[in-house]
Amino acid sequence: MKLSAASSLRAGALMLALAGSLGSAQAQDIFETSGTMIGGAQFASYTFEITDAGADYMASLLDYVFPSSFDVLGLAITQGADMLGSIQGSGSFMFSPLETGTYTALVFGDPGGMFDAGSYGVTVTNLSAAAVPEPQTWALLATGLGLVGIAVRRREPMKAVQAG
Write out the residue range of the structural domain in which residue 12 sits.
Answer: 5-21+133-154
Q: Are the CB atoms for 62 and 33 separated by under 8 Å? A: no
Q: Are residues 41 and 101 in the same domain?
A: yes
Q: Are residues 34 and 105 in the same domain?
A: yes
pLDDT, tens digit only, all 164 positions of the chain: 444 544 544 554 454 454 444 444 578 899 999 999 999 999 999 999 999 998 999 999 999 999 899 999 999 999 999 999 999 999 999 999 999 999 999 999 999 888 899 999 999 999 986 566 677 777 888 888 888 888 878 877 767 677 76
Q: Are residues 48 and 122 in the same domain?
A: yes
The pTM is what?
0.65
Looking up residue 105, the CATH number of its domain turns out to be 2.60.120.380
Residue 148 belongs to a domain: yes
Q: Are residues 56 and 116 in the same domain?
A: yes
Q: Are residues 47 and 94 in the same domain?
A: yes
Give the sheet arrangement for strand 91-95, strand by strand. Answer: 28-38, 117-126, 57-67, 91-95
Q: Are residues 12 and 38 in the same domain?
A: no
Q: Are the CB atoms for 97 and 31 separated by under 8 Å? A: no
